[in-house]
């Protein structure tokens, strides 16, 4: 006889791990117990030597959750456990180095089958779940993960559920989210009567479902409570609903995401590669940006050649979509405001005109979570937003942190992070902190996450930008683009010398100018700026970033000072008296440096090109000009490939020169040359868009070769690398030059990933 104490770390809570262990122990004739301790699982296993060995071996192969480590110790049996059988014991607290909290799981195939099985007692029950599926992090109140530590604790199990919960071999044995028509959460449908008063239908699931489907078919807008918060849903065949919602959300053009009942339905509208299919059906059920084959009404995707598509992640969505077909599912809030989880707030919006109905339920959401967003970009899989289904899964570093650390992230696409040991836990996405409600939601989330992880940071680190509210109370600062680069080094656990390239819209530089196209060498934990695209004096500072015409104007002024010219004739063509007056004022402001900022932003360089080529003149949503420029470039590439090879490489290039110790790529001359080409090529919009991309990509590779001769590893980060042409051509060029290329895959390459970089780059540094 022998007795072992086994400590299991990994993703072992909220995944049906303990019941699986119990079943295995019973099969192997092992006595003892299994329990959640803090964030780990502790097992006492006692039996014949052979039985214990068999149990240990099979435990390591258990196909439930994810075991990261098994620590096995010999213990005297009586001291450990008094049971003569194998039991699932009461959970207890503990504070361990590595704590893994379960992510929210999408409905599993088995539950889906039961959902449509007329003989099943959970037939069409919108909250069906099991040990392998259902909400987790979004409803978790405390650790360890248990019925009473999640918001399902509000519902007392009926005898039948209790029986399943305790029965050996049942798929809902110890499923903490177990519920049924009798005992679990119920739907509620809220509408407004003709007098503007709220009316509600409660507890009659079938009536509510039928009315919801009817409303959606009648082009109504319905707010539906999902795992992480409310969505606004409406038919993608309805121009009227789309227009109404765009107006209500103050969202002019940004495409809406569409939820489809199944992968085949997506294929009808979009091209889906096998990698994209894998993402769409992955547990997070994320939105994946796909190439559009055909459109719904034009108000859904606008001018975009892509569509954000996704699949239902919970039983309610599955039931509804089966009957309605595809639905637009967009976050249920006004533009710029945080995702809504409470009925009262949604009712207020209803009174303001949108939605027409609210489908809600009585299971409380504790962590608001948006949908995660991915795209496949050449050989890379990129995250645009890391949220439901992925948070709070940590990123593992190569080396442990010296102290527990908080990283504030940035103010835009705000995400914070907490680090302990080798683990960095990134929060959900909060949007822009300019909005006070986003700030509040973030503040609550920090307290909640610190509590769940039992983590009290000793060090706090934020962005260098003096105006960032996120960084206000942090005691250390990391430059924005250094954090971007560091985030890639961190997630790929790179060692040794690295050349880092960060291209994006804006970040505060160490010299007080606005950076955005930065080349760094990384040695022994230190970064040094060794190159960038030329600095331009831009009108309007940070706030002018939306107006691409204004940016082009600044480029034109800069060019004129250097004896170059950027399409002055275009200006005359569109010039009215009023425009002329605006430009005279702008010229004065630019010359006298009133409200101007020096900037090496890649995003603004793309804006200037977009305005010059008359593709898009204003960013009504973030990155719109660059996105439409890229779209035109995809078409232009074909024409480019028809040109004689010797000729096409010379058409448009970027001058790269060294000033003091800094490599500079000349963006102003690039725009001037592009303007000259515009004169030569009639209807050349698309070709020139591509030439512009190609020239920038070539320049980045050249800079990397010049500035990083002894650097074999190159990392790419920053929002500009979401651009498919830029990323693939830069990566290809660098690989051809013998470099290893890395970019963000576990966190977004945009500002949603910088918190990871902040933690990594502050590691081991002494701060005052
Ligand atoms: Zn299930
Ligand atoms: Zn029940």
List pLDDT tens digits, range 642-688: 999 888 888 999 999 999 999 999 999 999 999 999 999 888 999 99
User: What is the Å distance from ligand 2's center to 200 Cα?
Assistant: 24
Q: Tell me the residue range of the domain where 123 lies.
A: 101-262+285-376
> Helix 667-680 vs helix 548-561: angle between axes, to the nearest 10 degrees?
100
Q: For residues 39 and 141, state if they share a domain.
A: no
Ligand with smallest separation from the Cα of 172: 1
The answer to which of 72-76, 90-94, 104-108 has the lowest mean pLDDT is 90-94
Confirm if 516 and 501 have CB atoms less than 8 A apart. Answer: no
pLDDT higher than threshold 90 for residue 69: no
Ligand with smallest separation from the Cα of 315: 1
Mean pLDDT over 56-71 rounds to 89
Q: For residues 595 and 737, state if they share a domain.
A: yes
Q: For residues 219 and 365, state if they share a domain.
A: yes
User: What is the Å distance from ligand 2's center to 159 Cα?
Assistant: 7
Q: In the prediction, which pLDDT does 94 show?
A: 67
- Cα–Cα distance measured from residue 733 to residue 533, given in angstroms and rounded to the nearest whole number: 18
Q: For residues 71 and 209, state if they share a domain.
A: no
Number of structural domains the chain divides into: 3
* Bigger pLDDT: 473 vs 485: 485
What are the tens digits of pLDDT across the range 230-285?
999 999 999 999 999 999 999 888 999 999 999 999 999 999 999 999 999 999 99
Q: In the prediction, which pLDDT does 79 show?
A: 55
Q: In the prediction, which pLDDT does 291 show?
A: 97
User: What is the Å distance from ligand 2's center to 432 Cα?
Assistant: 41
Q: For residues 198 and 329, state if they share a domain.
A: yes
* Bigger pLDDT: 295 vs 540: 295
User: What is the Å distance from ligand 1's center to 133 Cα?
Assistant: 4
User: What is the Å distance from ligand 1's center to 172 Cα?
Assistant: 8
Q: For residues 631 and 653, state if they share a domain.
A: yes
What are the tens digits of pLDDT across the range 10-25?
888 888 899 999 999 9
What are the tens digits of pLDDT across the range 581-633?
888 888 999 999 999 999 999 999 999 999 999 999 999 899 999 999 999 99
Q: In the prediction, which pLDDT does 12 show?
A: 87
Confirm if 406 and 449 have CB atoms less than 8 A apart. Answer: no
Residue that has been written with the tokens 């490489």 in this structure = 649
Say what the pTM is. Answer: 0.92
Beta bridge partners of 656: 665
pLDDT higher than threshold 90 for residue 541: no
Confirm if 336 and 355 have CB atoms less than 8 A apart. Answer: no
What are the tens digits of pLDDT across the range 403-432?
999 999 999 999 999 999 999 999 999 989
Q: For residues 303 and 347, state if they share a domain.
A: yes
What are the tens digits of pLDDT across the range 349-401?
999 999 999 999 999 999 999 999 999 999 999 999 999 999 999 999 999 99
Q: In the prediction, which pLDDT does 768 show?
A: 38
Q: For residues 635 and 674, state if they share a domain.
A: yes
User: What is the Å distance from ligand 2's center to 121 Cα?
Assistant: 9
Beta-carbon-side half-sphere exposure of residue 409 (alpha carbons within 13 Å): 29
Q: Give percent of the chain above pLDDT 70.
A: 96
Ligand with smallest separation from the Cα of 125: 2
pLDDT higher than threshold 90 for residue 524: no
Please check whether residue 479 lies inside any domain of the structure. Answer: no
Please check whether residue 756 lies inside any domain of the structure. Answer: no
Domain CATH for 724? 3.30.420.40
Q: For residues 545 and 628, state if they share a domain.
A: yes
User: What is the Å distance from ligand 2's center to 321 Cα?
Assistant: 25
Residue that has been written with the tokens 């000009």 in this structure = 625
- Cα–Cα distance measured from residue 688 to residue 680, given in angstroms and rounded to the nearest whole number: 11
Q: Give percent of the chain above pLDDT 90.
A: 81
């Amino acid at each position: 006889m022998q007795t072992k104490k086994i400590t299991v770390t990994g993703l072992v809570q909220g995944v049906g791990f303990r019941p699986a262990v119990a079943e295995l122990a019973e099969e192997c004739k092992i006595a003892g117990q299994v329990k959640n301790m803090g964030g780990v699982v502790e097992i006492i296993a006692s039996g014949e030597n052979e039985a214990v060995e068999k149990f240990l071996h099979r435990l390591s192969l258990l196909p439930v959750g994810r075991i990261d480590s098994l620590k096995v110790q010999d213990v005297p049996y009586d001291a450990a456990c008094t049971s003569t059988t194998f039991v699932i014991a009461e959970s207890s607290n503990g504070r361990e180095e590595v704590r893994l909290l379960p992510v929210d799981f999408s409905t599993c195939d088995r539950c889906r089958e039961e959902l449509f099985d007329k003989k099943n007692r959970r037939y069409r029950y919108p909250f069906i779940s099991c040990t392998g599926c259902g909400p987790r992090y979004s409803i978790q109140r405390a650790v360890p993960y248990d019925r009473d530590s999640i918001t399902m604790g509000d519902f007392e199990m009926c005898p039948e559920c209790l029986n399943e919960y305790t029965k050996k071999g049942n798929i809902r044995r110890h499923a903490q989210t177990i519920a049924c028509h009798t005992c679990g959460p119920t739907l509620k449908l809220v509408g407004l009567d003709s007098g503007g008063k709220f009316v509600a239908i409660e507890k009659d699931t079938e009536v509510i479902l039928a009315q919801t489907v009817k409303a959606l078919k009648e082009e109504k807008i319905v707010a539906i409570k999902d795992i992480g918060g409310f969505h606004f849903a409406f038919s993608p065949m309805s121009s009227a609903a789309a227009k109404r919602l765009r107006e209500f959300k103050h969202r002019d053009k940004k495409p809406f995401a569409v939820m489809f009942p199944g992968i085949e339905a997506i294929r009808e509208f979009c091209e889906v590669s096998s990698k994209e299919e894998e993402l769409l059906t992955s547990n997070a059920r994320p939105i994946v940006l796909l190439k559009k084959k055909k459109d719904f009404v034009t108000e859904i995707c606008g001018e975009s050649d892509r569509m954000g598509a996704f699949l239902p992640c919970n039983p309610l969505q599955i039931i509804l979509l089966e009957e309605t077909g595809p639905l637009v599912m967009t976050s249920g809030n006004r533009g710029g405001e945080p995702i809504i989880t409470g009925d009262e707030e949604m009712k207020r919006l209803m009174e303001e005109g949108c939605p027409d109905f609210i489908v809600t339920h009585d299971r409380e959401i504790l962590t608001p979570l948006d949908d995660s967003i991915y795209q496949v970009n050449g050989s890379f899989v990129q995250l645009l937003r890391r949220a439901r289904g992925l948070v709070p899964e940590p990123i593992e570093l190569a080396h442990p942190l010296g102290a527990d650390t908080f990283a504030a992230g940035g103010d835009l696409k705000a995400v914070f992070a907490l680090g302990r040991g080798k683990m960095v836990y990134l929060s959900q996405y909060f949007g822009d902190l300019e909005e006070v409600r986003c700030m509040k939601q973030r503040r609550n989330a920090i307290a909640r996450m610190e509590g769940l992880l039992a983590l009290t940071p000793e060090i706090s680190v934020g962005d260098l930008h003096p105006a960032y509210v996120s960084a206000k109370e942090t005691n250390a600062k990391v430059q924005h683009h250094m954090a971007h680069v560091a985030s890639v080094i961190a997630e790929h656990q790179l060692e040794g010398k690295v050349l880092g390239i960060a291209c994006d819209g804006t970040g505060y530089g160490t010299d007080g100018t606005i950076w955005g196209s930065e080349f760094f060498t990384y040695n022994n934990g230190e970064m040094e700026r060794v190159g960038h695209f030329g600095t331009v004096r831009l009108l309007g500072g940070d706030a002018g970033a939306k107006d691409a015409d204004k940016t082009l104007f600044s480029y034109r002024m800069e060019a004129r000072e250097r004896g170059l010219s950027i399409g002055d004739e275009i200006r005359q063509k569109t010039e009215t008296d009023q425009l002329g007056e605006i430009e005279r004022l702008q010229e004065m402001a630019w010359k006298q440096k009133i409200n101007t900022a020096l900037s090496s932003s890649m995003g603004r360089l793309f804006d200037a090109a977009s305005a010059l080529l008359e593709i898009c003149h204003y960013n009504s949503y973030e990155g719109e000009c660059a996105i439409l420029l890229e779209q035109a470039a995809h078409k232009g590439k074909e024409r480019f490939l028809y040109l004689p090879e010797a000729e096409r490489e010379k058409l448009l290039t970027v001058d790269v020169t060294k000033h003091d110790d800094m490599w500079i790529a000349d963006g102003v001359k690039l725009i001037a040359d592009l303007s000259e080409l515009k004169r030569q090529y009639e209807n050349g919009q698309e070709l020139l868009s591509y030439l512009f991309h190609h020239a920038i990509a070539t320049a980045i590779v050249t800079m990397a070769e010049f500035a990083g001769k002894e650097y074999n590893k190159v990392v790419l980060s920053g929002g500009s690398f979401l651009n498919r042409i830029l990323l693939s051509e830069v990566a290809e060029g660098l690989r051809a030059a013998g470099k290893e290329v890395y970019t963000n895959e576990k966190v977004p390459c945009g500002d949603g990933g910088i918190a990871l970089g902040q933690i990594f780059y502050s590691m081991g540094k002494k701060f005052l």
